[in-house]
């Protein structure tokens, strides 16, 4: 049994998000650890323990992964990795993704039918980044979104709007197995890939596929993705496609930031985006230390 269940991780995440939001809104003041801990209504000692439990490192170390200096450094690395991927012909889905994700896009006819005849099973689950809604079909995962402000109805309405003619059935027992595989620390070693079923225009699908070439711990800009697709003037269209990514986390849109290193513009909140990026950076660091 998991010694640190997702329910506790999700609960802890609420304070982590509050802390990140506080730091976001007090950038010029640069609050110290005591001020941040006080804002989330815990002692400095408890705040340290909370971070160590949630991500394995101290809050000071974690916040270093969110500095402008760090993100700019990662942007340069990410651009080089995309160049290598493109030159080597490794742009196929899942070739570089740490969770081995593959996907298929619906045909134009299926796209037009908006999911007619499709059975979608779904469930709400706690994760290290708050509650999420996961939906699956016989052909693969079709939706993963985070629930903001405890509004499950809004999250489900968003799912339905993308598949208006599909039939829906709640089946949290089925989706729970996938949640464990997606967010467990050993997921990167899974022998079976996660298969996705996505619905979008050719351009949107190409953007989502390009995102799968961004490894964990790496960041790229919207301009980098546009250039990678051979459409350097399509940055705005790329950003729009990323903004409606139907399968959060697995299609890692959180790894795309602005060209000047700013981390914002995330469908489920900039604080969550920073939390995921910091979590991934910490995981990479700990893996390197234990190697």
pTM: 0.92
Q: How far apart are CA 195 and CA 201, in angstroms?
A: 19
- Whether the per-residue pLDDT at 91 is higher than 80: the answer is no
Phi/psi-derived region of residue 276, left when phi > 0, alpha when psi is between -120 and 50, beta in every other case = alpha
- Three-state secondary structure call for residue 217: coil
- Exposed (0-12), middle (13-18) or buried (19+): which is 148, by Cβ within 10 Å? middle
Q: Tell me the pLDDT band of 92, cut-offs 50, 70 and 90.
A: very low
| Span 109-143, pLDDT tens digits | 888 888 899 999 999 999 999 999 999 999 999 99
Query: Which pLDDT score, from 0 to 100, does residue 184 have?
Result: 80
| Span 234-282, pLDDT tens digits | 999 999 999 999 999 999 999 999 999 999 889 999 999 999 999 999 9
- Whether the per-residue pLDDT at 288 is higher than 70: the answer is yes
| Span 148-181, pLDDT tens digits | 877 999 999 999 999 999 999 999 999 999 999 9
| Two tokens, residue 179 | 């949640």
- Whether the per-residue pLDDT at 207 is higher than 60: the answer is yes
Rounded to the nearest 10 degrees, how much is the dihedral formed by the CA atoms of 21, 133, 201, 240? -10
| Two tokens, residue 25 | 């809104």
Residue with the bigger pLDDT between 1 and 241: it is 241
| Span 2-50, pLDDT tens digits | 578 999 999 999 999 999 999 999 988 889 999 999 999 999 999 999 9
Lowest mean pLDDT, pick from 72-81, 152-161, 222-231 = 72-81
Q: Tell me the pLDDT band of 90, cut-offs 50, 70 and 90.
A: very low
Query: Which pLDDT score, from 0 to 100, does residue 264 have?
Result: 85
Place of tokens 């993308």: 162
Residue with the bigger pLDDT between 11 and 215: it is 11
Query: Which pLDDT score, from 0 to 100, does residue 2 have?
Result: 56
Residue with the bigger pLDDT between 142 and 212: it is 142
The number of angstroms, rounded, from the C-alpha of 92 to the middle of its chain's C-alpha atoms is 20
Residue 132 designated active-site: no
Transcribe 83-117 into DSSP letters.
HHHHHTT--STTSS-TT-EEEEEPPHHHHHHTTTT
Dihedral of CA 105/110/116/119: which sign?
negative
Please state the φ and ψ torsions of residue 103, each to the nearest 5 degrees. -155, 165
Query: Which pLDDT score, from 0 to 100, does residue 150 have?
Result: 76
Residue with the bigger pLDDT between 93 and 227: it is 227
Say which of 50, 147, 253, 282 is annotated catalytic. 253
- Whether the per-residue pLDDT at 96 is higher than 90: the answer is no
Query: Which pLDDT score, from 0 to 100, does residue 84 have?
Result: 61
**What mean pLDDT do residues 213-236 have?**
93
Which one-letter DSSP state was computed for residue 197? E
| Span 180-199, pLDDT tens digits | 999 886 444 455 689 999 99
């Amino acid at each position: 049994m998991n010694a640190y269940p997702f329910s506790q991780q999700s609960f802890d995440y609420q304070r982590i998000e509050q802390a990140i939001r506080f730091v976001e809104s007090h950038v010029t003041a640069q609050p110290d650890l005591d001020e941040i801990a006080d804002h989330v209504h815990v002692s400095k000692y408890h705040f340290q323990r909370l971070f160590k439990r949630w991500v394995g490192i101290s809050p000071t170390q974690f916040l270093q992964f969110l500095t402008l200096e760090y993100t700019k450094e990662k942007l340069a690395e990410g651009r080089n990795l995309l160049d290598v991927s493109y030159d080597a012909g490794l742009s196929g889905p899942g070739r570089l993704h740490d969770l081995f994700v593959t996907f298929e896009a619906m045909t134009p006819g299926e796209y037009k039918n908006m999911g007619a005849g499709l059975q979608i099973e779904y469930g709400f689950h706690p994760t290290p980044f708050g509650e999420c809604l996961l939906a699956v079909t016989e052909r693969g995962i079709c939706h993963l979104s985070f629930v903001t402000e405890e509004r499950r109805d809004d999250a489900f309405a968003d799912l339905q709007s993308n598949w208006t003619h599909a039939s829906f059935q709640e089946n949290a027992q089925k989706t729970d197995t996938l949640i464990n595989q997606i967010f467990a620390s050993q997921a990167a070693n899974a022998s079976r890939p996660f298969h996705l079923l996505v619905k979008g225009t050719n351009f949107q699908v190409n953007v989502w596929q390009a995102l799968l070439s961004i490894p964990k711990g790496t960041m790229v800009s919207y301009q980098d993705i546009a250039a990678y697709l051979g459409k350097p003037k399509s940055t705005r269209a790329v950003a729009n496609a990323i903004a409606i990514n139907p399968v959060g986390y697995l299609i890692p849109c959180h790894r795309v930031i602005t060209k000047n290193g700013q981390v914002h513009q995330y469908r489920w909140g900039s604080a969550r985006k920073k939390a995921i990026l910091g979590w991934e950076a910490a995981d990479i660091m700990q893996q390197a230390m234990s190697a």
